[in-house]
Each structure stands twice: as structure tokens, then as C-alpha cells.
Structure 1
Amino acid sequence: MFSWIHINILDYLSEIIDILLVTFVIYNIIMVIRGTKAVQLLKGIMVIIAIWFLSSFFGLKTLEWLSNIAITYGLFAIIIIFQPELRRALEQLGRGRLFSRQAPKDEKQKQTIEGIVKATSYMAKRRIGALMSIERETGLNEYIETGIPMNAHLSSQLLINIFIPNTPLHDGAVIIKGNEITAAACYLPLSESPFISKELGTRHRAAMGVSEVTDSITVVVSEETGGISVTKNGELKRDISEDNLKELLEQELIYTSRTSSSLRWNWRGKHHG
């Protein structure tokens, strides 16, 4: 009797551990693809599965057959379409970094913010156009690969030098990861939103575009006006001051995980126009 109870307890424990591990893996996969093109694909898959379930439940044979074909061949299409993303994920898995989430070092983040703010202020006063995207949870590797690798320690002097007109790296975006300038002269996706003001140029559309598909924070300096803008989650704040830029970056890069939502930057106060 005791042995049967002991076996049952072990079975329950193994099932609980199994469920927890699967939940952990699914959660981290969602965190990895969050904000990327794969999210839209996942939504499409869920719609097809819902159609298959409903067609099976109501006995709609033709629709069920089409759904089965879409699911079967869709798996091969996913492998082909997302081959670069799958390759990077496997490389990260081989290095043991697929699910890593290192906590940001406050002191290094403050130095990074100081460098960005100082460089932005300098360029804004001299109307030097600039585009700087700061990576957060969603990886920007697909955009980093379009530019020139740098992997250099971030400093205001280096940022300014990159965006000086008529230099080889000035045309494009700088991507910042942690306290490093990962790449320069990167191409970012242009937003197709009809709500963006017509007076805004390619830099602002690129900043909006990357903010629509990732959780990055992107800083823009207008070449025409010297105005400073910031984008996040498809929202654009224009003509912000140096002090407000510093406050915003500190809230988003340092204090976000430690403060309540009521204390965070209010992005709804100003829209695209």
C-alpha cells in the first residue's frame, strides 16, 4: 500500500515538473519572439487553428480539409521564411544564451544615457541629423546585419563623429545594445502609418517603423530643425528638451522594472502629428 502511494506521488511530481518546464519554455519562446515579425505569423497560425477547430466541430468537411493542408504545408513555409531567425536562435542556444535575461547594470546604463543625451544635445544645436535605436528585450539583429559592425564602447564623442555629415557611416541608424554601439549605417523599416505628419522625413519614419515591430527606444535629431524626437511602441514624441530626454531614457532603461505604471513616461500625451 505504501509503495503504491509513493509511486503515485512520484507520478504527480513528475507531471507537475513536466508542466512547469513546458510552461517555462513556451513563456521564454514568447518573450524571444515578442515584438518581431514572428508574432504576426503566430496570430495567423492561431486563426487557422481556430478555423480548423470550428470546421471540425460543425462538420464543414471542405473547410476542414483546406485547414489541414494549410497547417501541414504551413510548417514547411515557416522553416523557409524564418530560416535566418531559426539559425540565430540555434546559435544562441549553442552558446547557452537563448533564454538569458541579464539585469541591466544601473551605473553602466546611466553612463550610456549620459553619452546619448550629451551627443544628442550637441547634434541638435548644430542641426546634425541622427538616428539612434536602443535595443531592449526584442533583438535587433536583423537590422544590425544591414549595417557596419562596430561593437565599440559608447561615448558621446563617438556618436557625434558617426553622424558628422559626409562621413561613411552618417547615413543610417546606430544601434545601441547595453553600453555598446553594436553597428552603424543600419537600415530600419519605414513606417507606412498615414498618421505621421507630412513634414517628417525618412529618419522619423524609420524610427516609427522600428518602434512598431520592436520594443526599442529610438532617438531622432532632425537635420532641418534640430528638434529631438523619441519613438516607442508606435508612438512619437516630438520637440522634447534635453532634460526630458534624459528623464525618459532613465525611466525606460533603468526604472521601468522598479516603478509603477503611473510614474512612467506618459506616451499618450502627444501623438504622431
Structure 2
Amino acid sequence: MSSNSGTEMNGKFPEPAGNARGSVLHSAGLLCSLLGMWDWIVIKDALRAVVEIFILWVFLYQIYRAFHATRGARIMVGLFACFLALVVLAFFFQLNVISWILTRIFAPGLALALVVIFQPELRVGLAKLGSHPFFSSFAKLQRVDFLDNFCKAVSKLSNQRFGALFAFERSISMKPIEDSGVKLDAIFSPELALTIFHTKTALHDGGVVISGDRISAAACVFPVSQKEMSDRTLGLRHRAGVGMSEESDCVVVVVSEETGAIALAVGGKLERNLTPEQLKGRLEELLNISSSNEKTAIA
């Protein structure tokens, strides 16, 4: 028998040459690299999908929060339902003309209609966004001007003995309180504040909610505090101010109708007998408003 046959009979095979072994190891390494790269691509695509879903969820949830309780919500639902129904019909029955109309005419028209329908809500949202101190120093200057006007209004209310109650919305929404009153969505001005709290007007009996630099609502019902007051002469207006500050993180300003004294309630605590200048300083601190370089005299 040949030598090869003898080797096979003994159960021994010739070892692969050095080049062949290196080729096998190189192929195995390349395969592992490809598998690792494939795993990374899959993971990266999965992460991208998760991020996109999260962003879309947050965006849609914020839209739902902003518009679900508005009068135009049903109109929006109806328009979207019609749009989706037409899209499904055009897709299944290959209605090319309808598809062209939907993409070129109906979709832009729908977007424009939503802007028109929700114009008040969009205006309020953009006003809140623009008043955020993150965006520009101009927003801070606007807030300082607003605070000057507010303290001037409080000073005039105090001098004329008009009882007043203001609540500044902070991080906790005051929408349920706004719903109890008359919605205004008006830019704050001393003249408007004096008009609201004049005893001959229908809006004077209740509180005013201020969001940003706008009056969101007037004649709102504030919850009355049930805790014991140190001064028994404090009336219902002061108790409502303290009660509102107990149930929210808002800052409440109270003007006494009897004495004209100015008070501030925050966190369930009442700070009394403030001057307009002291009130401005406390509001700058509590509302995180940067003061201007020059002190504005409050008449």
C-alpha cells in the first residue's frame, strides 16, 4: 500500500500548510467583524427608532394637552378623519387624481385650516414660549417692563382702596382655576387691572390669573384656606390668596379693600404690609425676573 494509505490507516492526516491556516483565521476574523458590524447597525437602527418614537410621542402628547379641551378639537378630529378616509380609498383603489389632490391641495389646506381654527391657542402658546428667559434678553426686558406696570397698577389699586387678587402662574398649571372664571387672554396694563377690580364692573368679585405677561382669566374662584389666621381681621380675599398658594406653587398678590394694604402669599404663607418697591423685589425673586440697571420709581 502507498504511504498515503498508511497515513489514513493510522488515523493521521497531513496538517494544512501555513498559508492555508492563515487564510482560515483571516476568514474567521472577517466573519466576526462583519457580524459585529451587523449587530451595531441593528442596535443603531433600533436606538434611532426608539428616539424617533419618543420625540413623536412627546410632540403629539403636547399637542393633545394643548388642544383636547378646546372648541376646535372636534373640528380637527373631523378633518383628520376625512383626510385619512380619502387617503385609504385612494391607496386601495388606485385613485391617482384624488391622490394628487390630497397631496398637493388638501394637505396644505388642512394645515392652513388648523392654524386658523387654533389661532387663539397658538397665540397663547407662542406668547408663553417667547416670554421664557431661555430665548433672549429681550424677553427679560419685556418681563421687567411688565413687572413695573404691574406694581404701578397695584399702587393705584391700593391708593384708591380697590380690593384686588392676582395669582401668577408658575410651573403648576392653573387651567382649572381659569375655567372657573371669565377667560380674557389680554396683555396686562394698569388701566385694564383698574377696570377689572372697579366695584362697578362684573369681574371685580374674584381673582385674576396671570400667565407670563398676560391676564389669562378674571373673576376666578380661588380656594379658601381653612387654617387659622394670626390676624382675625383678615377677610375672605386674604384667605383665598393663602388658599390658592397652598394648593399651587403660584404667587398671589392681595390688595385690601378696607385698608389698601398690599400682601403677598406664597407656599401658604402671607407677607403683609408691603410697599410697591418691596413687592417688586419679592416678585423679581419669586418669578426669576432680572431687574433693570436703573430702579424705576413706582408712582
The answer to whether the aligner puts 1:209 opposite 2:243 as a matched pair is: yes
Question: Tell me, which stretches of 5 or more residues in structure 2 are unaligned?
Answer: 1-31, 77-120, 134-138, 291-299
- In the TM superposition, residue 127 of structure 1 has moved relative to its aligned partner by 1.9
Post-superposition Cα deviations, 1:71-107, rounded to whole Å, max 9, x if no partner, equal: xxxxxxxxxxxxxxx976745999897xx96514212
* Alignment match, 1:37: none
Q: SS of the residue aligned with 1:203?
A: helix
Per the alignment, do residues 207 and 21 of structure 1 end up closer, same or farther by CA in structure 2, a change over 3 Å counting? farther
The answer to whether the aligner puts 1:158 opposite 2:192 as a matched pair is: yes
% same residue: 30
* Alignment match, 2:156: 122
Post-superposition Cα deviations, 1:4-29, rounded to whole Å, max 9, x if no partner, equal: 32344456554698599879x89xx9
Aligned AA (1:163): F
* 1:57-72 correspondence to structure 2 within 5 Å: none
**Which one of the candidate residues 105, 128, 141 is aligned to 1:107?**
141
- In the TM superposition, residue 204 of structure 1 has moved relative to its aligned partner by 1.2
Aligned AA (1:6): M
What is the CA RMSD across the aligned residues, in angstroms?
3.4
Aligned AA (1:178): G
User: How far apart, in 1, do the equivalents of 2:35 and 2:193 lie?
Assistant: 68
* 1:153-232 correspondence to structure 2 within 5 Å: 153-195=187-229, 197-232=231-266
* Contact 1:133 1:173 survives alignment (8 Å): yes
* Contact 1:130 1:220 survives alignment (8 Å): yes
* Alignment match, 1:245: 279
Q: SS of the residue aligned with 1:237?
A: strand
User: How far apart, in 1, do the equivalents of 2:245 and 2:143 lie?
Assistant: 20
User: How far apart, in 2, do the equivalents of 1:21 and 1:242 lie?
Assistant: 50
Report how many aligned residue pairs link the two structures.
Answer: 197
Q: SS of the residue aligned with 1:109?
A: helix
User: How far apart, in 1, do the equivalents of 2:150 and 2:285 lie?
Assistant: 15
* Contact 1:106 1:254 survives alignment (8 Å): no
User: How far apart, in 1, do the equivalents of 2:42 and 2:240 lie?
Assistant: 54
User: How far apart, in 1, do the equivalents of 2:227 and 2:52 lie?
Assistant: 41
Question: Tell me, which stretches of 5 or more residues in structure 1 are unaligned?
Answer: 33-85, 257-273
The answer to whether the aligner puts 1:2 opposite 2:2 as a matched pair is: no
Aligned AA (2:34): S
* Contact 2:140 2:289 survives alignment (8 Å): no
User: How far apart, in 2, do the equivalents of 1:192 and 1:17 lie?
Assistant: 51
Q: Tell me which structure has the larger Cα radius of gyration.
A: 2
- In the TM superposition, residue 246 of structure 1 has moved relative to its aligned partner by 0.9
User: How far apart, in 1, do the equivalents of 2:177 and 2:54 lie?
Assistant: 31
User: How far apart, in 2, do the equivalents of 1:151 and 1:219 lie?
Assistant: 19
* Contact 2:144 2:289 survives alignment (8 Å): no
Post-superposition Cα deviations, 1:220-240, rounded to whole Å, max 9, x if no partner, equal: 001122111111222221111
Structure ranking higher on relative contact order (CA contacts 8 Å, 6+ apart): 1
- In the TM superposition, residue 144 of structure 1 has moved relative to its aligned partner by 0.9
Per the alignment, do residues 252 and 20 of structure 1 end up closer, same or farther by CA in structure 2, a change over 3 Å counting? farther
User: How far apart, in 1, do the equivalents of 2:281 and 2:52 lie?
Assistant: 39
Per the alignment, do residues 166 and 12 of structure 1 end up closer, same or farther by CA in structure 2, a change over 3 Å counting? same
User: How far apart, in 2, do the equivalents of 1:16 and 1:191 lie?
Assistant: 50
Aligned AA (2:181): G
* Alignment match, 1:42: none
Q: SS of the residue aligned with 1:209?
A: helix
* TM-score for both structures, normalised by structure 2: 0.56
Aligned AA (1:137): S
